[in-house]
Amino acid sequence: MHKFVMVKKVIVFGNEKGGTGKSTLAMHLTVSLLNNRYKVGTIDVDARQGTFSRYIENRTNTQRNNPDIKIPVHKSISQSLLGNIEEAEKENKEKFTQALEFLSDCEYIIIDTPGHDNSLSRFAHSHADVLITPMNESFVDLDLLVRVKDSLNSLDLRPSTYSEMVWDQKKNKAIRNRGTIDWVVLINRMAHMASKNRQELEKILEALAKRIGFRYAKGFKERVIFRELFASGLTLTDRNTQGMQTSLSHIAARCELADLLKVLNISQSS
């Protein structure tokens, strides 16, 4: 069994739906931790899509002209191509364990998972100290947690397939090392204007939090700058980098990230 030397927390970004901003959130959290002088390791278990890995690759290219840019220690893991399911899962588990051991001298490990179920994603979930599940401001995304009936005011409170998977991985972690998973669900890519839809969604999430076993938090508002920064591998916490002009929107986004760090109980340097 592997042993962590320095790791404070393993933070996993996961759900089984794409387009919720997992990789963007993961990168912003990673850079924020780096800028707060933590040693950070990152793992992309969605190597086929590879958004998180490409973000870090773009950042590494930008660093060549700006050595002040901090880069995490990164590992990317591809799904096993073995035809036998048991052998493939065994190989995936070995790859994931080796990645954890490689990063065991990091203080934080940030893991990005695919928007679908596979054994690598389940292994990642089971090793989370904190699981962050971003969802869009939509009742379609609420179905990720519970079954939504035909009426917005009527929910079938049976957990969804993803919620059941999270509970299974909580059990697996408890069996492995008596550990627990702090599950945080947040609304991400929010519209700038408050809406009745958001109010209803927040009310339901707050009601479901204790029942399903997660903490509810708010993520980032939708901003074009997030898509623009991807090409350079930068984040909104990279101050005075590449001539980036600071706007009120940037400041607001940094405040949103600071709020997320508070939710995660991560201390920031002054």
The residue-averaged pLDDT of 146-164 equals 69
In a domain, 113, yes or no: yes
Domain that holds residue 173: 9-263
Query: For residue 234, is it within any domain?
Result: yes
Residue 1 within a domain: no
The SS3 of residue 244 is coil
118 falls within a domain: yes
Please give the average per-residue pLDDT across 176-183, as a whole number.
92
* Per-residue pLDDT at 154 exceeds 60: no
pLDDT at 156 over 70: no
The CATH number of residue 173's host domain is 3.40.50.300
Residue 165: pLDDT band by 50, 70, 90 thresholds? very high
Are 149 and 49 within 8 A, CB to CB? no
Task: Report the run of H or E that residue 75 belongs to, with start and end.
Answer: strand 73-76
How large a percentage of the chain has pLDDT more than 90? 48
Residue 4 falls within a domain, yes or no? no
pLDDT of 129: 95
SS3 270: coil
DSSP state of 146: E
Question: Is 94 a member of any domain?
Answer: yes
**pLDDT above 60: residue 236:** yes
Note the pLDDT of residue 47.
82
Distance CA 178, CA 175 (A): 6
Which positions ≥6 away from 215 have C-beta within 8 Å?
Answer: 182, 183, 184, 185, 209, 263
Q: Which tokens is 62 given?
A: 């930008």
What domain count does the chain have?
A: 1
- 202 within domain boundaries: yes
| Per-residue pLDDT tens digits for 199-212 | 788 888 888 888 88
